A and B are shown apart, each in its own frame.
Chain A
Amino acid sequence: MGQVLRVDLTKEKSAVEQLPHELVLNYLGGTGFAARILFNELKPGMDPLSPENRLIFATGPLTGTLWTTAGRWAAFAKSPLTGIWGESHSGGFFGPELKYAGYDMLVLHGRAKRPVYLWVDDGTVEILPAKGLWGRNTAETTNLIREQHGDREIEVASIGQAGERFVRFACIMNDYQDTLGRVGLGAVMGSKNLKAVAVRGSQAVKVADDDKFMELVEDAHERVLKQPQAQQMTKYGTPLLVAYKSKIGELPTRNHQTGVFANSDKLDADTIRAKYYAKTRSCFACRIMCKKVNRIPEGKYKGTISGGPEYESIYSLGTNCGVDDFGAVLRANQLCNLYGLDSISAGCVIAWLMECYERGLVTRKQCDGLNLKWGNHDAMMALIEKIAMREGIGDLLAKGSYYAAKSLGKGADLVMHVKKLEISGQDGRTHRSVALTHAISVRGADHLRSLVTVDQLGYEDTAAKRYGKDKLPEICDPYTEKYKAMVVKDAEDTFAIRDSLIVCWYSCGWPPIFWMPDFAAVASAATGIKEFGRLKEMYRIAQRICNLRRAFNVRERLDKRHDSLPKRFTHEPMPDGPGKGQVANLELMLREYYELRGWNRRGIPTKRTLTELGLLDVVRELKRLGRMR
């Protein structure tokens, strides 16, 4: 392995490069590689939808091996939704197939003259016309490509109609139900006139130390099998979170107005399992097998059968829009997957418009005659289609809620976003560490880069082992800021390594199945690079990645002003539930977090921090741009 496939769609040329050893040593894989490439190759201020943007499909050193929870891949680009660092991860089977074709990474440049798709068949790389594919949804595209090549084992990553129309939160789909959901990478793909990437590979993935690696593989599988937590996830999937979050009052409801949703039991895992469960799916080589397929047996959405929805879609298309009909949520999620829309942003932008409507800021006429009262799932379905096709009011919403409010000239205070990314299904008022996570996340209001649930789930004994007994009880208290900067930074460092290996979040939720020492051991065995086996070196790599990604955003003129939260979280106390009266106090956590990171009070990495991490070129670049003295 160790190869990068570069494809210039403008020149219709491809080239294979060897992965530079220095890049591997300093950045490990996945998000680390992408940070270096995007920082080096993109000019600050460039338009994310221009041909100059890079779209990187990356695997990690474990992808395609038997190490459980590592059958994933990720894509990276400058985001057209946020204008900053863009990163999105997916399960499924595409990542391993790309590796079997011989590539650790695919870097796409330029823009094709007309719609095309990329066909990668081991050493063969072809740019083929997307005739008959353009205008199709993601499932049809996958099926047609497999039929054209006469091979049902081909893995396809494609956009739907939303990506073709540059909807700012268009996603990239693979395996029908696996999603590179967030930050609009589907629009980047659309801007390159690239409908799909189809891959077939037949090569083996070699590891450096077979015996040690297989020992770790067996240990990893055994640990997953033994864990009661993983067993619950296998049985119920992420909807298991719905009931818990409802009880603690952190189930975002009606555009995050509250964390209490009256009919949450209609959408929780117990109900879904009993009434709608059809089958379980797995990503490549995963023992957790959290993915579920559900079927609606009766009612308006009778006959709908689809993968998901995950917890986040139940929140965004369900509780956040006031919808308590599971059939509607499943169907809405399916539509998002088919059109190629991020279900979180889609649900959130609709929830924002619903609140504007309920407050009289927009009229029914402005909303194409739709009655946007809370819970009207007919209107929600119509809006999803309008957004994907950019029709009527959907053209406004396709910009994302931040720019939609700007264009409308109303409702800006009601936009639930950080750095223009719609907020994921948590609430910093009643889960204080996530207030910081949302505020500082490199891609905007995101939970996945540093989500900590020690203050939500507790488990005091384990918390004491990890963080010290002296940090109790505050570290397990969701209503205090104390120690939260420390735990968020700890998670962000570990997750930077996780996202470089490209391992699933559910391997290191709280309490984690795998943590940094496990990642160090397996990375070393897989690559044969002894430095990866040293914890100190792994933390250094993690910090290098976190700082370089931050520098990418600083170069785009971001600083502390953007590490903020929606006013609702900081000024509107939680109105009801167990956390009634709580608000998020960000300032103290931010100050502590910057200090721990070695950043100045404006949230900019210092010269000393960057120099210690060997990022001298970043110092020079930030100085050149006047972002550092």
Chain B
Amino acid sequence: MEVVIKLHGDIREKAGTDTVKLPINENETVDTLLIRLSKRHPVVIEAILDPTTGELKPYFNILLNGRRIQQLRGIHTKLKDRDEIAIFPPVAGGLTDFEKR
């Protein structure tokens, strides 16, 4: 079983590739896949994960077959053969802290 990871924007430039194919195991989830991706392309994980919390940085998006993983089960979403993961840097907007303003 295998999944395809598509990289976009700055993440692609940093990784030096647009596509990474990784084999997956039974019960593989997004978070375990990211850990294995970090071994092959540590620069990708540095770009998208907060080093202190291990969480996805604000406004980066991971899509699984075109759906944001937050609409599914987040990083615990299970993967299956031939799934496509797409990782995007922020594509629009900025950052207003609505609580403070």
Contact = CB atoms under 8 A, between A and B. Distances in A.
B92 A241 contact: yes
Nearest to A478: B71
Contacts, number: 117
Residue from A223, A453, A577, A578 whose CB has the most chain B CB atoms within 10 Å:
A578
Interface stretch (B24-32, B35-43, B58-66, B75-83): B58-66
Interface string A442-481: 0000000000010001111110011000000100110000
A518 interface: yes
Contact of A513 (B57, B67, B95): B95
A459 B101 contact: no
B74 to A, nearest CB: 10
A578 B86 CA distance: 13
Interface in B1-26: 6, 8-10, 12, 18
Interface string A220-248: 00011001111011011000110110011
A247 B86 contact: yes
Contacts of A508: 93
A455 to B, nearest CB: 10
Given A243-B88, A270-B8, A578-B66, A229 B71 contact: no
Residue from A269, A460, A508, A511 whose CB has the most chain B CB atoms within 10 Å:
A511
A262 to B, nearest CB: 14
A244 B88 contact: yes
A506 interface: yes
Given A240-B9, A458-B70, A476-B70, A229 B93 contact: yes
A248 B66 contact: yes
Given A248-B63, A249-B66, A460-B70, A465 B99 contact: yes
Given A458-B68, A578-B65, A232 B91 contact: yes
Contacts of B94: 223-224, 227, 229-230, 507, 509, 511-514
A512 B70 CA distance: 20
B90 A229 contact: yes
Contact of A461 (B10, B58, B65, B88): B58
Contacts of B97: 465
Given A228-B89, A476-B70, A577-B66, A236 B96 contact: no
20 contacts: A229-B90, A235-B9, A235-B10, A244-B88, A248-B63, A249-B66, A269-B9, A270-B8, A457-B92, A459-B59, A476-B68, A507-B94, A509-B93, A512-B94, A513-B93, A513-B95, A514-B96, A515-B98, A515-B101, A518-B101
Interface of B: 6, 8-10, 12, 18, 57-59, 61, 63, 65-68, 70-71, 86, 88-99, 101
